[in-house]
Amino acid sequence: MNETPVIDKNEIQTQRAVMELVRSSFDGSAPKALVETYGCQQNVNDSQRLRGMLAEMGYAFTENREEADLILMNTCAVRDNAEQRVFGNLGALKRLKAVKPGMIIGVCGCMAQQEHIAERIRAKYRHVDLIFGTHALYRFPSLLAEALEHRSRVVDISGEGAIAEGLPVKYDEGVKAFVSIMYGCNNFCSYCVVPYVRGRERSRLAEDVLAEVRELARRGVREVMLLGQNVNSYGNDRGETDAFAELLRRVNEVEGIERIRFMSSHPKDLSESLLLAMSQCPKVCRQLHLPVQSGSDRVLRDMNRRYTAERYLSIVRRARELMPDISLTTDIIVGFPTEERADFEDTLKILREVRFDSIFSFIFSPREGTPAARLKSAATDEEKAAWFQEMLDLQNQISADINAKCVGEVQEILVEGESRHEADMLFGRNSANKIVNFRGDISLKDKLVKVRITKAQTWILYGELI
Ligand code: SF4
């Protein structure tokens, strides 16, 4: 076990002083910033930190690129299509920069952390002023100050990744919030770039996590999502065992918080004590996102996942024994290079056996620098696309069947606002995180209400307020 790296308090003070300096350098109206986020919840949370620092530096915010004085793209490296979107958007910003040369364009996050991507941006996108990786996030004020002062390009993809407490966060509006409990990943699944761009696992101290949750509750947040690449190994880097189960119990005691969710969980690290904590903590939602990735032991081995299909199923059985109403969701990769038809059928088998509420599935996307990117594919692109569709058809049927069984149930819904798709309806989410539409007054927004489910579709439920 190595010591968990933590950024020194003096360094955080330095960044705070730089924020003050930047703020005082703006005279007149506040400049406007736009932070665009790609990828996972961890990135959404990082963007809230970037916005927090920008707000301290005196920036106001806009969603309109033409209006912005600073555009920052917080990028994702997990799949190729997210990367291509970033490059496309960066290309489009060249014209904007030509008419507004004073604007700052920055690229940060997982893509920027990779040397070959940073090099490509440096060489081909000369209108980008600022490139920094995930490990330099806490140094953003200094990097921006340098770009503003010298009007020259600033690049920082150095560092190893460390915990930085005490920086400002600008949370999104509403009663739900993300709370990162750890960063990085030690697992090195053979297809995944995350351990290379986010570094080794670093767990925040439970006291720091709890202080943030209490502060969120004080601000009116009712639901927290605890985030980590693998929350089940929370505390391992500090030599603790079963620390996540213990953290869950302590968050459950925070007054004002009414719902707790978490993601992601690696099946190899999911413990009996975590399932017990989930079942015994009334605020923990009856929902478990447990990425299986494949139903074939051979493919799981090639993915370096370190569990078998049977081990996965035994966790599901135990979770259902303790929480019969638990909703299960998963991630699946179709077309991993060594996957053959028989392996894919094992995945269909696990779908039929578990009957997930929903799945998040993708066709394998090779990531430079990972072992799987060097493997030759057994199946053709056409075969992979056909398998993918076959799996979606099966899952849609399962999801629709599960939802149909909800009709008649009375469920507790956290109301999020007016439905964007159904006129005169409110929408909220149940404990399983499914959207429920129903008629009601907007004054119910942000409240927990009881709704009887009257109609079910594959992805959405409808109901009436009780
Ligand atoms: S557990 Fe595997 S898939 Fe998840 S972030 Fe770590 S390496 Fe990637």
Tracing tokens 């720091």 back to the chain, one arrives at 208
Q: What is the pLDDT of residue 345?
A: 98
* pLDDT, position 268: 96
Q: Among 410, 408, 401, 449, which Cα is nearest to 427's?
A: 449
Q: What is the pLDDT along the chain (466 residues), one digit of tens a residue?
A: 557 899 999 999 999 999 999 999 998 789 999 999 999 999 999 999 999 999 999 999 999 999 999 999 999 999 898 899 999 999 999 999 999 999 999 999 999 999 999 999 999 999 999 999 999 999 999 999 999 998 889 999 988 889 999 999 999 988 999 999 999 999 999 999 999 999 999 999 999 999 999 999 999 999 999 999 999 999 999 999 999 999 999 999 999 999 999 999 999 999 999 999 999 999 999 999 999 999 999 999 999 999 999 999 999 999 999 999 999 999 999 999 999 999 999 999 999 999 999 999 999 999 999 999 999 998 999 999 999 999 999 999 999 999 999 999 999 999 999 998 888 899 999 999 999 999 999 999 999 999 999 999 999 999 999 9
Give the model's pLDDT for residue 159.
81
Give the position of tokens 């407490």: 165
Ligand 1 pocket list (CB less than 6 A): 185, 187-189, 192, 194-195, 229-230, 266
Centroid of ligand 1 to alpha carbon of 200 (angstroms) = 11
Domain 410-465 bears CATH identifier 2.40.50.140: yes
Architecture of the domain defined by 171-273:
2-Layer Sandwich (3.30)
CATH number of 9-156: 3.40.50.2300
For residues 313-322, one letter each, b for 16 or more C-beta atoms within 10 angstroms of the residue's C-beta and e for the rest, the string is bebbeebeee
Closest Cα to atom 1 of ligand 1: 187
Q: With contact defined as beta carbons under 8 Å apart, do 200 and 161 qualify?
A: yes
For every residue of 10-75, DSSP letters joined together read HHHHHHHHHHHHHHHH--SSPPEEEEEE-SSHHHHHHHHHHHHHHHHTT-EE-S-GGG-SEEEEEE
Say how many Å lie between the CA of residue 78 and the centre of ligand 1.
10
Topology agreement, domain 9-156 and domain 171-273: no
Res 375: pLDDT: 96
The CATH number of 286-404, from 2.60.40.10, 3.30.750.200, 3.40.50.2020, 3.40.640.10, is 3.30.750.200
* Measured distance CA(417)–CA(400) in Å, rounded: 25
Distance CA 409, CA 434 (A): 14
Short-list 145, 138, 72, CA closest to 108: 72
Tell me how long the chain is.
466
Q: Which residue CA neighbors atom 8 of ligand 1 most closely?
A: 192
Q: Which atom of ligand 1 is nearest to the CA of 195?
A: 7
For 150, the token pair is 């010298």
Q: How far is the CA of 374 from the centre of ligand 1 (A)?
A: 18
Q: Check: CB of residue 293 under 8 Å from CB of residue 71.
A: no
Of 19, 17, 27, 58, nearest in space to 144 by CA: 19
Give residue 375 CA to ligand 1 midpoint distance, Å: 18
Instruction: State the closest ligand 1 atom to the C-alpha of 304, by its place in the atom list counted from 1.
Output: 2
pLDDT for the residue numbered 278:
98
| C-alpha 91 – ligand 1 centre gap (Å) | 30
Q: Which atom from ligand 1 is nearest to the alpha carbon of 293?
A: 3
Domain ranges in the chain are: 9-156, 171-273, 286-404, 410-465
**376 Cα to the center of ligand 1, angstroms:** 21
Residue 126: CB partners within 8 Å, gap ≥ 6? none
Give the Å distance between the CA of 299 and the centre of ligand 1.
15
Atom of ligand 1 nearest to the CA of 188: 7
